[in-house]
Structure 1
Amino acid sequence: MNIGFITPEYPLKNSSRSGGLGTSIKNLSIQLIAKGIGVTIFIVGAEEDEVIREDGIEFHLLKPKKLPFLTWWVSRKKYQNYINSICLKNKIDVLEAPDWSGITAFMKFTRPLIIRLHGTDCFFCHLEKRKQKKKNFFLEKRALEGADAIIAVSNFVGKETRDLFDLKKEIITIYNGIDSEVFTPLSIDREEKTILYFGTVIRKKGVLELAKAFKKVLEKDPEVRLKMVGKDSTDVFEGRSTSGLIEEMFEEEERKQVEFIREIPYESVREELAKATVVALPSFAEAFPMTWLEAMAMEKPMLTSNIGWANELMINGETGITVDPSNTDDLANGILRLLNDREEAAAYGKNARKRIINRFSSSRVLEENINFYNSLLT
């Protein structure tokens, strides 16, 4: 069997152009290759057309075709025709694409197409209570209606997406998985009193609330540090740097306790996780975040939000602490509790790793994916 993935991002070596979507595709692809299943990956929206090989995978980087007023249309037709030609050449059996921005809308493929729900623009606009562009809704709905099958990475994102787009298709849930042999506790000296946030620095991830909570933490212990690892973003409401908005919240002395690391190679994420005392990820909007899986697999004491998807992954008081991310008092108190009670924090970390191994390990999730791929070929 051969699988083709269509994606706008992937964590290629020596590249930081990727987020959780690309990471989840990489994890699944490497596991498929290990099982003897062929993988071809099409990265759309690349800077240049290029074919490369890495980790036993053939990558086709596809540059948009630009024409005045017609770039999006001619680019899609270019992608469609090229992908169909490689499907024939590489004997690809099934294609898979994400839901974000409806990248497969108006494309017709010669192989069955699966759309995997990692969270549409409509889904995130709904959770963030902001208006979505009509064009984006139209393209996402068109792509979902044109899919031969739909997979959701959590029950929450599946139900919300079905309701938002009034979909009639069956949606099954196959959770994101993590290789617990790769993401495992490391023997690295811990940076004491360090809170780690990692991921895009963006409003929907609760970073502004985390900054407010951190100010309250500093009132109790001025030696605590906050490290924010991830690329910056332009805030949807203010129209300027989200990191800049965070920096403005702090007085001069407080600012010395905050460190921004804009982007690091994917391979360096494990080291940052290993060094952190506490991981804080108080997001308002997720589908089933890889960052949470990675931190849990590495036995990190975690404070997260308690919304929707969170209750399918975290267990409050067992794998960590979950709170309403809008409640900055609870955020601050939860962080201080994990910093000050090492025995409790360590127990949470061990329980979190056990939960990953028992329910969300790559090997378990891989079999669910392979069975589903096979169901489309019979």
Structure 2
Amino acid sequence: MKILIYSYNFLPKNRGGMEKFIFSLVQRLKKNHEISLLLPKRHNIYISDIKTYHVCEIFPNYNRENLSRLKLLIKDFLQFLSNIISMSIVLPRVLKKNKIQIVTVFQPSLYSTLVNFIALLFKKRTCISLRGIEGDVNLFYQLSMDSTFLFSRAVIINSKDLFDRYLKTTYIPRVLFSNKKVYYLPNGINVDYWKPDKTDKVSKESDLIFVGNLKDKSQINNKGIKFLYEAIKILRENNNLNLKVLIIGHANMYLLKKMIAPDIEKYFNFYGFLENYSTLKTKIQKSKIYVLPSISEGMPNSLMEAMALEMPCIASNVGGVPELIEHNVDGLISEPKNPKKLADLIRLLLEDENLQKKLGINARKKMVNKFNWNQIIKKLEILYGKL
């Protein structure tokens, strides 16, 4: 098949779960298919055997925080205009030249809408791959989702409740979705890379580890770091447990102190972002428990990586987490926004090494048997054949 993939965010500029998923996806699809990649100009990346095309941006990199509202508005408008004009020129050429059959856009946006609209004009099969929904959806984001969905023949979701969550917020009459094809495709995990170090017993440096970016208000809210802070505080004050909690990822300390607590650094060790996956694997394995207290998720890659490493995990019952974890079998599930329950589960797991071992072994088994990349690619190829 001849497939074009569009994403506004990509490696190496963006290192979230979705970006890692797309990168892994195209690397595997290219083995049996002709892949074209359409990206904003700021993603100056080369991937062998993949045709990469860029959409022009007037301001590929600009610091939004240092601009006045008027300057920000002007720059955003010019950026938007340059993207639209460039995409309207580049995309038709790519569709014709490479004889594209299927167009997949990642995450809803006005740019994704335009990609699918142009693709439909050229009678191509279109779909959107939805890898999650923001916890607090504003009007602009909702309209972006609605417009992208309108011009998508099919929707690919990575957690079974995702499309239902979308339908609760959409402004589009449900009758327009009656013929919309919806397919479930979970995230994949490279189980050969994300495997535990069995050479010798790994010494533990921290009690808990959290992996995720906390750069803006949305990430800080959605990742539920506030409730982890409150849970750790409960354990310290009520149970005299002074736990070592390692936070890996970009962190905006100004916002974290403002939104959660000025003394947050007394409870967490903010290690920063790790570009080297080998170092990240080591840090995860040198912790006793992996914790993900999110209030909104798609299917979290970081949790899947920890499970593949045989880590005992505690995660909130949101998004695709229940599809990854069966409570007390291959992990523990906590109620979102409930620091008392989270604190109880952390204490329970820290005090029971046999339970830690059982959950870790079963977690890796599930990743190997149900979520390895080979299985996911086969499912996607079947899915594409149905479009």
Is residue 2:246 matched to residue 1:241? no
Q: 1:186 aligns with which of 171, 191, 197?
A: 197
Where does residue 237 of structure 1 map in the other structure?
none
Q: CA deviation at 1:105?
A: 2.0
Q: CA deviation at 1:40?
A: 2.8
Count of residue pairs the alignment pairs up: 352
Output one character per residue of 1:262-314: Cα deviation in whole Å (capped at 9) or x when no partner. 32216243232222211010111012111121111111110111235322221
- Report if the CA contact (8 A) 2:108-2:144 is conserved: no
Q: CA deviation at 1:101?
A: 3.2
Where does residue 22 of structure 2 map in the other structure?
25
Q: Distance in 1 between matches of 2:114 and 2:55?
A: 17
Secondary structure class of the residue paired with 2:231: helix
Where does residue 270 of structure 1 map in the other structure?
281
- Report if the CA contact (8 A) 2:299-2:319 is conserved: no
Is residue 2:72 matched to residue 1:79? no
Q: Distance in 2 between matches of 1:353 and 1:27?
A: 19
Where does residue 271 of structure 2 map in the other structure?
261
Output one character per residue of 1:84-140: Cα deviation in whole Å (capped at 9) or x when no partner. 32333344332211234343123412332210111244xx325xxxxx13x332222
Where does residue 37 of structure 1 map in the other structure?
33
Output one character per residue of 1:319-366: Cα deviation in whole Å (capped at 9) or x when no partner. 111111222111112112222211111110111111112221111111
- Report if the CA contact (8 A) 2:158-2:320 is conserved: no
Q: Distance in 1 between matches of 2:155 and 2:280?
A: 30
What's the TM-score, normalizing by structure 1?
Answer: 0.84
- Report if the CA contact (8 A) 1:6-1:96 is conserved: yes
Where does residue 250 of structure 2 map in the other structure?
231
Identity percentage of aligned residues: 22
Q: 1:62 aligns with which of 52, 55, 59?
A: 55
Q: 1:96 aligns with which of 104, 113, 121?
A: 104
Q: Distance in 2 between matches of 1:217 and 1:84?
A: 58
Secondary structure class of the residue paired with 2:374: helix
User: What amino acid maps onto 1:375 in structure 2?
Assistant: K
Where does residue 297 of structure 2 map in the other structure?
286
Where does residue 2 of structure 2 map in the other structure?
2
What's the TM-score, normalizing by structure 2?
Answer: 0.82
Residues 1:265 and 1:81: Cα distance change in structure 2 (over 3 Å): same
Q: 2:42 aligns with which of 47, 61, 71?
A: 47
Q: 1:306 aligns with which of 271, 294, 317?
A: 317
- Report if the CA contact (8 A) 1:119-1:286 is conserved: yes
Secondary structure class of the residue paired with 1:316: coil
Higher mean displacement: 296-305 or 324-333 = 324-333
Q: CA deviation at 1:154?
A: 1.3
Higher mean displacement: 174-183 or 265-274 = 265-274
Q: Distance in 1 between matches of 2:285 and 2:92?
A: 43
Where does residue 209 of structure 1 map in the other structure?
227
Q: Distance in 2 between matches of 1:63 and 1:73?
A: 10
Secondary structure class of the residue paired with 1:374: helix
Where does residue 162 of structure 1 map in the other structure?
167
Is residue 2:156 matched to residue 1:151? yes
Q: CA deviation at 1:248?
A: 1.4
User: What amino acid maps onto 1:314 in structure 2?
Assistant: I
Q: Distance in 1 between matches of 2:23 and 2:42?
A: 20
Higher mean displacement: 81-90 or 347-356 = 81-90
Secondary structure class of the residue paired with 2:22: helix
Residues 1:274 and 1:59: Cα distance change in structure 2 (over 3 Å): farther
Q: Distance in 1 between matches of 2:156 and 2:355?
A: 36
User: What amino acid maps onto 1:191 in structure 2?
Assistant: K
Q: Distance in 2 between matches of 1:120 and 1:300?
A: 26
Q: 2:329 aligns with which of 308, 318, 328?
A: 318
Residues 1:221 and 1:56: Cα distance change in structure 2 (over 3 Å): farther
Q: Distance in 2 between matches of 1:275 and 1:266?
A: 16
Q: Distance in 2 between matches of 1:82 and 1:325?
A: 44
- Report if the CA contact (8 A) 1:65-1:78 is conserved: no
- Report if the CA contact (8 A) 1:76-1:104 is conserved: no
